[in-house]
């Protein structure tokens, strides 16, 4: 098989780039290790920056998001039994976020690929990129016992943190930066009415909690748990009881509980791999960077990578201009590191750190006091949360 761009990974990053390129007549193929149902079975991000929403509309995939997604102009911070609202809309000069699950984003992107007869190959085993530093890279993969080959001009590594692309870059070429947090998030999805019309980020001495949603009949909740916890350690009742302990009384009193339809523990890490290019291979999304979900930057950081790559490939194919591709890594990393900073800051602000020295505990408390008392600090939070410019 021959194509112009071979995209490894059929998650939101890979599918969004595939759709954008196809709309511009740039031939591409997506190779996905899992089945479509498996990919759609993952419950992940919930909050979209306005830049991500714009990109979905540009890809012709924004119609259901605009119809079913919720525009949120702010969120609450719960602490010491009270709620303080951060007015994103006012502090960001009129911007907001869209609450619409990543699962639905991925579903809409698959539907758009199908409508355009886009080529997405599922259950592609042992995907391997080859000759990345030459002018004619290719990718091999296995279906059953048969090894297949795709000749291409560029390879996009959109295969997430555990993918093959980043690992195809020689260690001598790659610099990796990582911080692993000493806790995880236990997440529950339930067919219950959300406890609050806007998200609640709760800082509590027992640990962090988050009240989020997917719709008015589908709620998403998280509590910080030790890394040693396993999901089978937590019954639904135990989860709901702990969540209530971490919320202000008036909120806990109106929490509607119900059976979990999904329950999982996600570890928290900050990670960046530099550079995001090696020859004809370009990394995008989780393949190159990971953030703790506290700042809702994970999926949104992938969006700016895709935006930059899309325009760089357009410039290359339309105008023979390689500058976008040559500048991609530096440009993408400049925004990635700002998302890293914000995610680290939100995580440090709101979580319980058992090994924190008393000075750091007081600093955490005064950081929150300063934020809630300062218009400038809230404006800084808002501009990051709604999304820094691409
Ligand atoms: P993905 O990991 O989504 O997609 C990569 C795709 O590549 C996958 O479908 C995988 O099957 C495929 N793949 C992997 N290896 C391959 C190979 N060798 N060959 C072919 N295909 C291969 N972000 C938020 O903003 N908010 C959240 O609440 C949030 N929660 C998260 C919870 C969890 C458990 C995880 C893991 C992530 C969470 N994230 C969250 C971040 C998440 O949303 C990512 O940012 C987002 O999935 C990034 O999308 P992709 O870059 O497409 O990577
Ligand atoms: C979610 O709804 O899954 C979600 C929302 C905001 C976050 C993290 C997760 O910061």
Mean pLDDT in order along the chain per 10 residues (390 residues) = 98 98 98 97 93 97 97 98 98 97 97 98 98 97 96 98 98 98 98 98 98 97 97 98 98 98 97 98 98 97 98 98 98 98 98 97 98 98 97
DSSP-based three-state secondary structure for 248: coil
Query: What's the pLDDT score for residue 145?
Result: 95
- DSSP H or E stretch at residue 378: helix 375-385
Q: Which residues pair with 200 in a beta bridge?
A: 76, 211
Listed residue (335, 248, 361) closest to 52, CA to CA: 335
CA of 160 to the centre of ligand 1 (A): 5
Would you identify the CATH topology of the domain 5-71+95-178+269-351?
FAD/NAD(P)-binding domain (3.50.50)
Token duo for residue 98: 């869209």
Which residues line the pocket of ligand 1, CB cutoff 6 A? 8-14, 31-34, 39, 44-46, 102, 124, 127, 158-160, 162-164, 266, 285-286, 293, 296-300, 302
Provide the pLDDT for residue 338.
Answer: 98
User: Which atom in ligand 2 lies closest to the alpha carbon of residue 212?
Assistant: 2
Cβ 15 vs Cβ 110: under 8 Å: yes
Displacement of CA 130 from its chain's centroid (Å): 28
Atom 9 (ligand 1) nearest CA: 11
pLDDT at 143: 93
pTM recorded for the entire structure: 0.97
**Beta carbon of 292 within 6 Å of any ligand 2 atom:** no
Exposed, middle or buried: residue 15 (CB in 10 Å: 0-12, 13-18, 19+)?
buried
Pocket test for ligand 2, best of 42, 46, 265 (most atoms within 8 A of CB): 46
Give the H/E segment covering residue 382: helix 375-385
**Probe ligand 1: pick from 16, 299, 305, 309, max atoms within 8 Å of CB?**
299
User: What does DSSP assign to residue 195?
Assistant: S
Ligand 2 lined by 106 (C-beta under 6 Å): no
Looking at residue 238, its pLDDT comes to: 98
The alpha-helical segments, DSSP class H, found in 24-168 are 36-40, 50-58, 63-68, 88-91, 102-115
Any idea how long the chain is? 390
- Which DSSP string corresponds to 141-163? EEETTEEEEEE-SEEEE-S-TTS
Q: Ligand 2: does its nearest atom lie under 6 Å from the Cβ of 188?
A: no
Pocket test for ligand 2, best of 102, 186, 199 (most atoms within 8 A of CB): 199
At residue 216, the pLDDT reads 95
Distance 363 CA to ligand 1 centre (A): 33
CB count within 10 Å of CB 299 equals 24
For the CA of 296, the closest atom of ligand 2 is: 10
Q: Where are the domains of the chain?
A: 5-71+95-178+269-351
What confidence score (pLDDT) does residue 164 get? 98
Q: Give dist(CA 330, CA 278) in Å, integer.
A: 13
Beta bridge partners of 270: 179
> Do residues 119 and 31 lie in contact, with contact meaning Cβ atoms separated by under 8 Å?
no
Phi-psi region at 29: left, alpha or beta (left = phi > 0; alpha = psi -120 to 50): beta
């Amino acid at each position: 098989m021959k194509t112009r761009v071979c995209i490894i990974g059929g998650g939101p990053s890979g599918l969004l780039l595939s759709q954008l390129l196809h709309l511009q007549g740039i031939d591409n193929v997506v190779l996905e290790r899992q089945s479509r149902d498996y990919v759609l079975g993952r419950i992940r991000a919930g909050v979209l920056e306005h830049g991500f929403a714009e990109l979905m509309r540009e890809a012709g995939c924004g119609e259901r998001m605009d119809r079913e997604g919720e525009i949120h102009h702010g969120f609450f911070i719960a602490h010491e039994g009270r709620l303080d609202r951060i007015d994103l809309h006012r502090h960001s000069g009129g911007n907001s976020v869209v609450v619409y699950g990543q699962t639905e984003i991925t579903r809409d992107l698959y539907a758009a690929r199908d409508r355009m007869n886009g080529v997405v190959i599922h259950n592609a085993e042992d995907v391997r990129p080859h000759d990345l530093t030459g002018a004619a890279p290719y990718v091999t993969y296995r279906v059953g016992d048969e090894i297949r080959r795709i000749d291409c001009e560029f390879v996009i590594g959109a295969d997430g943190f555990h993918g093959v692309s980043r690992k195809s870059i020689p260690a001598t070429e790659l610099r990796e930066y990582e911080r692993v947090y000493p806790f995880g998030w236990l997440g529950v999805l339930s067919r219950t009415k959300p406890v609050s019309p806007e998200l609640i980020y709760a800082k509590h001495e027992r640990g962090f909690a988050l009240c989020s949603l997917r719709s008015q009949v589908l709620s998403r909740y998280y509590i910080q748990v030790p890394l040693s916890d396993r999901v089978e350690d937590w019954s639904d009742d135990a989860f709901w009881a702990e969540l209530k302990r971490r919320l202000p009384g008036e909120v806990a009193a109106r929490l509607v509980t119900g059976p979990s339809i999904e329950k999982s523990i996600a570890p928290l890490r900050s990670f960046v791999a530099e550079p995001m290019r090696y020859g004809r291979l370009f990394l995008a999304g989780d393949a190159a960077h990971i953030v703790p979900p506290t700042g809702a930057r994970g999926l949104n950081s992938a969006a700016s990578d895709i935006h930059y790559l899309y325009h760089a490939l357009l410039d290359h194919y339309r105008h023979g201009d390689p500058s976008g591709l040559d500048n991609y890594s530096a440009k993408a990393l400049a925004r990635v590191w700002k998302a890293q900073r914000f995610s680290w800051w939100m995580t440090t602000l709101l979580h319980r750190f058992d090994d924190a020295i008393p000075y750091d505990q007081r600093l955490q408390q005064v950081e929150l006091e300063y934020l809630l008392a300062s218009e400038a600090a809230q404006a800084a939070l808002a501009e990051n949360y709604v999304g820094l410019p691409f």
